[in-house]
Homo-oligomer: A and B are copies of this chain.
Amino acid sequence: MSEQGSRAVGRAGAGRPGVPNATVARLPVYLRALHALADVGRTTVSSEALAEAAGVGSAKLRKDLSHLGSYGTRGVGYDVGELVHHISSTLGLGQRWSVVLVGVGNLGQALAGYGGFDDRGFRVAALVDADPARVGEVVAGLTVLPLQDLPRVVREQGVSIGVIATPATGAQDVCDRLVAAGVRSILNFAPAVLQVPPGVDVRRVDLSNELQILSFHEHRKAALADQVVSA
């Protein structure tokens, strides 16, 4: 998580004893690999094979799965269907989550037209933009709504996740409006650090950050290579 680094512990009645944060971040990867296996017709899979497909170590995978109480069968492996069910339910994918997308520009339009949402249990319920020229436009089968409709849309459509795809300048304002409307989970594509009250989760996806991290390693590799050459 990006805000409080606390574990998702809580000892919720008879529920799970709490799933570590790092594990939660990997569950979607496992889930995707499992779906791929199911599509090929496999019904069981060993931790070794699944770990390979997910790009992690097998021990890590087993420990991750043990955290959500899901049991495999020793000597055989995990039942693919059962594991899909367990992980999905842990991630809260039993229900369809409604998403509101704010900022229908370059990126926003690509996101709106993206099919990968619906496949994974998410529904783009509405598109919102501040530009009066854009309001009323139809994008990906949805009419773009003005900002002031946000509270109503969130309420009527049962929206619980907000996606921000506006320039960095407007991001904090949009964020505040989303929070005011009752949204407690935000995915932020704008290169800005958002200030939110406790209880609200923000995940930031920053393309430039990723490139700069790559740049660092590339730089280091180049320096290392030069050193070897000069040696």
Contacts and interface: CB of A to CB of B under 8 A. Distances in A.
Nearest to A25: B213
A114 B207 contact: yes
A75 interface: no
A37 to B, nearest CB: 13
Interface residues of A, number: 72
A229 interface: no
Contact of A28 (B15, B25, B203, B206): B206
| Oligomeric state, in copies | 2
A153 B215 CA distance: 19
Interface in A189-216: 191, 193-195, 199, 201, 203, 205-216
Contact of A116 (B114, B187, B191): B191
Contact of A213 (B10, B184, B203): B203
Nearest to A108: B110
Nearest to A214: B185
Interface string A220-231: 111110010000
Interface of A: 1-2, 8, 10, 12-13, 15, 19, 24-25, 27-29, 31-33, 53-55, 90-93, 97, 99, 106-107, 109-111, 113-114, 116-117, 119-122, 160-161, 184-187, 191, 193-195, 199, 201, 203, 205-224, 227
| Ranked 6 nearest A-B pairs via Cβ | A92-B219, A55-B193, A185-B214, A28-B209, A110-B110, A28-B212
